[in-house]
Structure 1
Amino acid sequence: MSFLDKLQNQKNKLKGTETIVTTVDGQRYVEKGSEVTAICPNTYGFVVDTKPDNIPILVSDYLYIGSQDCAVNSVIEAYNIKHVLSLGIKVDVVVNNKFINCLDVPETKIKDLLTECLPFIWRCVTSKEYILVHCNAGVSRTSTVAIAYLIHYKRMTFQEAYDIVKSKRPAIQPNAGFRKQLEALTPGNVI
């Protein structure tokens, strides 16, 4: 008996399975063997969030963080924000805006990101002008920059800075790569 015949015999002994597949456009299918049946064709492949996340959170003197929902003129005017630091998301606002191209992936080296972001934030804060730091959801990139700011300028440990930002905005969660790099930073010596 050839090796291929042995494999086919083993395959015939396997129990059939049923798999539910959700495509990126939200279509759902059941696959069983070679049969494919559509189910729930009018659902999304993700949770739809219909509530805006448009309240910026003050984490330190003059430093707000939030999602892209905060980076709109009505919110900026309501909170007297004079500068916006956009991480990976371009926005059109009436105030001074700095865009930093940054992907929310663990492989991103935050040292380069922080070299551009932290002095910009520091200039705004020392001028006593409010700045909003935001990314798409205000969870990973935004929190990474805010935590690094506290480590560098407030000379906090990673855990102290993380705890402060987390207590102000519980949704924050730097991705695993960002967190590891943040934990390796030395207070007062980030950039």
Structure 2
Amino acid sequence: MDEDNKLQFPSLPATKEDLLDWAYPMRREMQEILPGLFLGPYSAAMKSKLPILQRHGVTHIVCVRQDIEANFIKPNFPHTFRYLVLDIADNPVENIIRFFPMVKGKDTCNSHFSCSECQVLVHGNAGISRSAALVIAYLMETFGMKYRDAFSHVQERRFCINPNVGFVHQLQEYEAIYLAKLTIKMMSPMQLGRSFSLQAGMPGSRKRSLEEDEDFGAMQVTAAQNG
């Protein structure tokens, strides 16, 4: 790819809050992952937490639940916040990649994370697997981060995150997917044709990079199974 067409990503912004020493009760609260982006459990979005949500200036809430959880995980403030409800099962065979575009796009009302004036809370039931995977994917695509780096950034702020085995593998695969999509979008028709004619020669360094991420994911899976 020409020098002028190399993918450019913004720098990862610093959060307003200092990193705190993790304590077990904090898993029941929301944490700021990026300025204006919070991750937490459903307990952080319950009716009793309205003053806290308003104090943090929350405007949008992404509610992640499976249909069978709808009776106890639900939008509690439909007239106060804008909601995006996603039907995702915390199951290793769930195709979570298909939901990533719903929280990343140009339309402020539909993309949620991308709104510079929005303060967004993303929650599932425990704020550990599904919602964490969505936030990790957003960091990867927005800031050009590898899975392991995005995972580490989120875990430093919400230590209890633990995407399930299937989500880990899909997040590792997503790196190649979003980079390919962005690259194709930036290429001219002539560059695109030349790229397709040369696509058989994939650099070994890229292969090694993917293998390293797979090793990191396998380590997480083993840790989760043992813990």
Task: State the TM-score bracket (shorter-chain normalisation).
Answer: 0.5 to 0.7
8 Å Cα contact 2:63-2:86 kept in structure 1:
yes
Per-residue displacement from partner, 1:104-133 (whole Å, max 9, x unpaired)?
Answer: 000110121112223368545433221000
Residue 100 of structure 2 is matched in structure 1 by 114
Q: Hey, what does 1:84 align to over in structure 2?
A: 61
Residue ranges of structure 1 left out of the alignment (5+ in a row):
1-50
Describe the shift of the 1:110–1:183 C-alpha distance in structure 2 as closer, same or farther (beyond 3 A).
same
Please show how residues 118-129 of structure 1 align to structure 2 within 5 Å: 118-119=104-105, 122-129=111-118
- Larger RCO, structure (CA 8 Å, separation 6 or more): 2
The structure with more helix, counted as a fraction of residues = 2
The total of aligned residue pairs comes to: 141
Q: Distance in 1 between matches of 2:143 and 2:110?
A: 13
Structure possessing the higher radius of gyration over alpha carbons:
1
**Structure 2 length normalisation: TM-score?**
0.57
Give the Cα separation in 1 of the matches to 2:88 and 2:150: 21
The aligned residue for residue 154 of structure 1 is 143
Matches within 5 A, 1:22-171: 53-72=27-46, 73-88=50-65, 89-93=73-77, 94-119=80-105, 122-171=111-160
Partner Cα distance (2:26, 2:172) in 1:
31
For residues 54 and 129 of structure 1, the distance between their equivalents in structure 2, rounded to whole angstroms, comes to 23
Q: C-alpha offsets along residues 20-69 of structure 1, whole Å, 9 cap, x if unaligned?
A: xxxxxxxxxxxxxxxxxxxxxxxxxxxxxxx6855321111311100001
Per residue, is there more strand in 1 or in 2?
A: 1
Q: Distance in 2 between matches of 1:180 and 1:159?
A: 12
Distance 2:168 2:28 in 1: 25
**TM-score, L = length of structure 1:** 0.67
Query: Tell me, which stretches of 5 or more residues in structure 2 are unaligned?
Result: 1-24, 66-72, 182-227
Q: Is the 8 A contact 1:154 1:188 kept in 2?
A: no
